[in-house]
Structure formats: structure tokens, C-alpha cells
Amino acid sequence: MTAIVTETLLAFDVGARTHEFVHETAGKLEQGQLQNDISAVRSFLQRLLKDGRRLRVIMEATGIYFLDLALVAHELGAEVVVINPKAGHHFAKGLGLRSKTDAIDARMLLEFLRRMPLTRWEPPARECLQLRQIGRYLVQLTDESTAAKNRLHALESTAETPRFLREDLRRSIRSLEGRLERIRAQAIELIGCAVAQRGLPGPEQHGRDGRQVGRRRAGRTLRAAPLPVGAGLHQPCRARRAPSPVGHEREQARAHLEARQQVPQARSTCRPVPAPDPHAAAFKQRLQARGKKGLQINTAIMRKMLTAAWAIVRDPTPYDGARLYATIETP
């Protein structure tokens, strides 16, 4: 006799301190709140998974607060679905919901889980999660250092500023720069270990573009990240394959790439010193001939490089500009 597996549908409206939840098992609903605490979350999910039940969990990608919840649920064997908050918003409008509370949002997500075809969420590699946190922290420290240097410039602009204030601010800047270098070194070590464990090629195996990201200034975060901005491809790149951030972090991620990594790299790719990638240079010349502005050209090259970076994650091979700029003829 085949055992009947009971399925539980569980929806979380994620919060910083508490999560509003609603779950349904065999037509029976239960709704409540759960503290945003790992041990409390684990105990709650284990109770729902007892007796061999199948558990499907849905939540929105809300800031950082959903991550631990999703990781614990996945670790315990639940089927986890993480959706863009905009998808939930539009679904709620489609249902005609006019009110918005945590309890209503949880019920809306449960209905979303019932009705919509969804893709199972898979957690990123542990190293990627750590590097994500390191990168964000480095950005914050870099911003603090820049602000301190601006304050020092203002203090030094007048002879009336006490000397001890200038010295104190210089010590603060030196401390921040030392912390930045130490954390970058630890990040580089973490990347190197991950590359070695996975058998991926390091920056020295990707030609000029890989070395430039690996050892030159790839923005203001990880100056020695071995993930190259150029990638080898077995077929021409397709831009739609490049990864896209989830949830409200999309705009933040785009700003981060533009300000700290991809825009500077896009500019340096076509510079005469060091020698540019001839395929990228030809691409730039073609866009200039069509009347494109500098920012438009940099954005187009950025998109090419992001596509290539995604390609090398999927299929590590040496960089080949001829494939990345497949439609461009070089002199």
C-alpha cells in the first residue's frame, strides 16, 4: 500500500524582527507570527516537516532578511520559492486587494504559491554569500574613507583649523585604508581557495582582461577578484543570459556596478595604454561612427563584459574577444 504524503504550503511575509506566516495542510489554515531567530525558525519548520510531510515555502526577496530563512528551509529539505516583490505586488493588484498588512501579504503569497508556476530556489555557494557580504562592507568602508578625505580637504582649506583636528582625521584615514587592505587580502584568499577547489582558471589564464580585473583596480571593492570581465565562449554571447539581481536590490546592484567596477573597466578596455582589446576598440569606433555618446558607449561595453563574466561562470575557458564582439570586424 502506497503511503500518502501530506503537502503543506507555507507563506512568509518577511520582516526584520518577526515574520508573518500562514500555512495550509489538507485544507486547514494556520496563521501567526514567528520571531526572526534561526533557532525559532528551525524548530517551526521541523514541526511542519515531521511525519515525512512535503513542505513548499514561498517568500519575497526582501532586503537581507529573507536569506537566513530561505537557507534554513532549504537545508531542512523544503522546496523554497523566492520571488521578486514586484511580482507579489502585481499579483495582489490582480486579486483586487486594496488593503496591505503583513497578514494580508502572507495570505496573498500563499495564493501565489497555489496558482503560479514557480521555479525552485537554490542557494548560492557559501563562498559567494561570504564575498557578497565582504563586498558590501568594503563599499561602506570606501565611502567612509572618501568622506573623511573630503572633510580633511575642507579642514586644510583654512589656516584657522586646529592642527590636532587635521592630525586626528589623518589617523582615521590611515586606519580606514589599513582595514580596507586587510579585508581585501582576506577576500582574495577566499576567492583563491574557491577557484582552486572548483578547478576554475585564475585571472592569469584569461589574458589581459582577466589580469586587469585580477591585479589592477577593478573599481573600489575587490581589487584582485579572479573572476574576469572577459570570458571565453563556444558561441557568440547572448545578453539575455547575463544574471539579473532579484527584488529591490536590482537598482542598488546596477549603481554598484556602474560606480565601482564595470564603468572604470569598460573605459580601460579601450585605452591605448596598456594595449586595448582590438575587438573592444573596434566596437567603440563603430559606436562612435554611429554618433553614440561616451556614456552610451561605456554602457554598451559594460553589457558585453557582464555577459562575458556570466559565460565564464557557466563554462570556464580562456578569454576570446573575437567571440565576445562577434559582429565586429577588427583591422
pTM equals 0.63
Amino acid (one-letter) located at 28: K
Query: What does the pLDDT read at residue 9?
Result: 96
Rounded-to-integer distance, Cα 130 and Cα 127, Å? 5
Q: Which stretches of the chain drop beneath a pLDDT of 50?
A: 1, 203-204, 206-239, 241, 243-250, 261, 272-275, 328-331
Domain extent listing, the chain: 7-115, 124-199, 227-331
Rounded-to-integer distance, Cα 8 and Cα 10, Å? 6
Which CATH homologous superfamily contains domain 7-115?
Ribonuclease H-like superfamily/Ribonuclease H (3.30.420.10)
Rounded-to-integer distance, Cα 180 and Cα 15, Å? 31
pLDDT tens digits, residue range 92-109? 999 999 888 999 999 999
pLDDT tens digits, residue range 36-86? 999 999 999 999 998 788 999 999 998 888 999 999 999 999 999 999 999
* Residue carrying C-alpha cell 526577496: 61
Query: What does the pLDDT read at residue 60?
Result: 95
Rounded-to-integer distance, Cα 108 and Cα 103, Å? 9
Tell me the Ramachandran region of residue 264: left when phi exceeds 0, alpha when psi lies from -120 to 50, beta otherwise. Answer: alpha
Query: What does the pLDDT read at residue 2?
Result: 52
Rounded-to-integer distance, Cα 186 and Cα 60, Å? 32
